[in-house]
């Protein structure tokens, strides 16, 4: 039986040939039964022959069979692993999807452009230390007009077409829809001491016929700063700082004299057109400037009405229309788009 190792080498070669053909787990399973099976497995059979091997050859024979067995087991394990991986791959590929089909998008909510623009404006002023104040939309004549230096029966009121509340009383208590958010300024002055730095955003109402440039309801942001030593130059610097944060580093502001009863001096504030770099375009009507707000130094009478000593304190106020700025930023032709809530518009304006 000196040839036993040779026989075993032959068996090993045969096993390698069989193994090379086994791919699927069934084939690998059959291979295992053929070679390691309890009854007729080749390795099992050779192990069974050990009893019949002469004593002096038992050592070599046993080592040879064990070598064969170890090799077969290792190879089978390898093949079984590969077959299992292949089976898993096949199972996965059965679950493959067409990745180009439309995704299941959760509902995506959006904020209205008026909210987005308002918050951007607020953020600019918040960084300068302003806080947001709030007040009623239905106001009394006193808060909306008289306290702000619009005397009763004064032509300055003609510029501000006002909606009145039916059954809303008379005189200074007469109820109306606020025409600006300035009543919030007055309420703030009456409720606390300077220093005051507030922003008053909110809906305001003017009796304008609805057209591309006018809505009877629109949104305003007013600001008020009252303190010792506040100057007209501070107003200009503040609005210039705002223009730069809001419209870009190169934006400049220009003041032009105008009249509002509650401020003196009163100014129209224009920002340099950042769309055309002041070369003149449709948005700025070729002038290079876009009027975006009114402003001025708080009138001493208004400070007095707010319980603030105008000799000790000075202040400035400004106000701008959020709708108009939204129009400008989004290049909209018509303010009415902002109140139609057409989803095709709201989706588009967001992606711009």
Partner 1 sequence: MKMSLSWLASYLPGPAPDPSAAAERLTSVGFIVEGREGEGASTVYDVEVTANRPDGMNHRGLAREAAVALGREFRDPGPGPVSESGRPAAELAAIVIEEGELCPRYSARVIEGIRMGPASAAVRARLESIGSNAISAPVDATNHVLWDIGQPMHAFDLDRLAKGKDGRPTIVVRLARPGEKLVTLDGVERTLAGDQLVIADAEKPVALAGVMGGLHSAISDSTTRILLESAHFHPGAVRRTAKATGMHTDASHRFERGTDPLTTLDGLDRAARIIAADCGGEVRPGVIDAVARPFAARTLGLRLARLGSFLGMEVAPERCLSILAALGFAPERKGGAGDVIEVTVPSWRIDVAGEIDLVEEIIRCVGYDQLPETLPPVFEPGESAESSILEDRARDQLAGLGLTEAHNYSFVSGAENAPFVPAGPGEPVEIENPLGEPFSTLRATPVVGLLRSAQHNVRRSRADLGLFEVARSFGWKDGQVAERRSAAFLLAGRRQSHWSDAAREADFFDGTGIVAGLFSGLGAPAPRFEAAPFPFLAEGRSARIVAEGGAVAGWVGVLASPLAEGWDLADPVVGDVDLDAIPKPAPVTSVEIPSRFPGSSVDLTLTHRKEIPWRLVEETVKRAGPAELLAVDANNRYSGPGVAPGFVKTNLSLRFGSPERSLSREEVNGWRDSAARALLALPETGVDGID
Q: Between residue 158 and residue 187, which ones bind partner 1 under the rule CB under 8 A?
A: 158-159, 163-168, 175, 177
Place of tokens 């439309």: 102
Contact string (CB under 8 A) for partner 1, positions 269-308, x = contact: ----------------------------x-xx--------
Binding to partner 1 in span 75-104, by CB under 8 A: 101-102, 104
CA–CA separation, 221 and 121 (whole Å): 8
- Applying CB under 8 A, among 115, 276, 278, 281 the residue interacting with partner 1 is 115
**# residues near partner 1 by CB under 8 A:** 85
Q: DSSP string spanning 39-101?
A: TT-HHHHHHHHGGGS-HHHHHHHHHHHHHHHHHHHHHHHHHHHHHHHHHHHHHHHHT---TTS
Tokens of 299: 């009138």
- Applying CB under 8 A, among 1, 4, 53, 132 the residue interacting with partner 1 is 132
Closest contact distance (angstroms) between CB of 135 and partner 1 is: 9
CA distances from 139 to 183, 202, 331 (A): 8, 13, 33
Closest contact distance (angstroms) between CB of 340 and partner 1 is: 6
Binding to partner 1 in span 205-224, by CB under 8 A: 205, 207, 209-210, 215-217, 219
Q: Which is nearer to partner 1, 80 or 350 (CB)?
A: 350
Closest contact distance (angstroms) between CB of 307 and partner 1 is: 18
CA–CA separation, 182 and 144 (whole Å): 7
Q: Are 177 and 205 in contact (CB under 8 A)?
A: yes
Backbone angles phi, psi at 145, to 5 degrees: -125, -65
- Applying CB under 8 A, among 72, 79, 338, 349 the residue interacting with partner 1 is 338
CA–CA separation, 35 and 47 (whole Å): 11
- Applying CB under 8 A, among 4, 47, 114, 283 the residue interacting with partner 1 is 114
Q: Which is nearer to partner 1, 16 or 208 (CB)?
A: 208
Closest contact distance (angstroms) between CB of 114 and partner 1 is: 5
Q: Are 297 and 316 in contact (CB under 8 A)?
A: yes
The CA angle 166-170-174, to the nearest 5 degrees, is 65
Selection from 268, 328, 334, 325 nearest residue 121 by Cα: 325
Which residues partner with 270 through β-bridges? Answer: 254, 291
| Binding status of residue 249 toward partner 1 by CB under 8 A | no
Selection from 188, 58, 201, 60 nearest residue 122 by Cα: 201
Q: Which is nearer to partner 1, 10 or 228 (CB)?
A: 228
| Binding status of residue 123 toward partner 1 by CB under 8 A | no
* Span interacting with partner 1, options 7-15, 23-31, 81-89, 249-257, rule CB under 8 A: 249-257
The CA angle 334-337-343, to the nearest 5 degrees, is 150
* Span interacting with partner 1, options 30-38, 76-84, 151-159, 278-286, rule CB under 8 A: 151-159
Q: Which is nearer to partner 1, 142 or 232 (CB)?
A: 232
Binding to partner 1 in span 22-81, by CB under 8 A: none
Closest contact distance (angstroms) between CB of 277 and partner 1 is: 19
């Amino acid at each position: 039986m000196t040839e036993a190792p040779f026989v075993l080498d032959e068996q090993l070669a045969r096993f390698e040939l069989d193994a090379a053909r086994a791919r699927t787990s069934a084939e690998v399973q059959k291979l295992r039964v053929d070679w390691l099976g309890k009854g007729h497995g080749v390795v099992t059979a050779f192990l069974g022959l050990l009893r019949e091997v002469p004593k002096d050859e038992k050592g070599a024979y046993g080592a040879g069979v064990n070598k064969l067995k170890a090799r077969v087991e290792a190879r089978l394990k390898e093949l079984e692993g590969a077959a299992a991986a292949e089976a898993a791959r096949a199972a996965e590929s059965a679950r493959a999807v067409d990745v180009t089909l439309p995704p299941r998008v959760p509902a995506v909510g959006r904020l209205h452009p008026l909210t987005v623009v308002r918050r951007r404006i607020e953020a600019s002023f918040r960084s300068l230390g302003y806080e947001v104040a709030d007040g009623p939309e239905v106001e009394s004549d006193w808060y909306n007009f008289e306290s702000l230096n619009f005397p009763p029966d004064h032509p300055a009121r003609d510029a501000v077409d006002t909606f009145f509340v039916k059954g809303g009383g008379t005189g200074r208590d007469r109820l109306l829809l606020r025409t600006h958010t300035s009543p919030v300024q007055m309420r703030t002055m009456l409720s606390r001491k300077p220093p005051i730095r507030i922003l008053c955003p909110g809906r305001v109402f003017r009796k304008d016929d609805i057209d591309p440039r006018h809505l009877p309801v629109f949104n305003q942001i007013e600001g008020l700063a009252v303190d010792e030593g506040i100057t007209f130059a501070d107003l200009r610097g503040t609005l210039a700082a705002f223009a730069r944060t809001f419209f870009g580093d190169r934006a400049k502001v220009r003041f032009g004299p105008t009249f509002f009863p509650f401020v003196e001096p009163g100014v129209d504030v224009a920002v340099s057109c950042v769309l055309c770099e002041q070369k003149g375009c449709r948005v700025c009507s070729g002038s290079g400037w876009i009027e975006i707000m009114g402003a001025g130094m708080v009138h001493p009478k208004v400070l007095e009405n707010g319980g603030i000593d105008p000799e000790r304190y000075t202040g400035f106020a400004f106000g701008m229309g959020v709708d108009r700025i939204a129009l400008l930023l989004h290049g909209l032709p018509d303010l009415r788009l902002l109140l139609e809530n057409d989803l095709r518009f709201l989706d588009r304006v967001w992606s711009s």
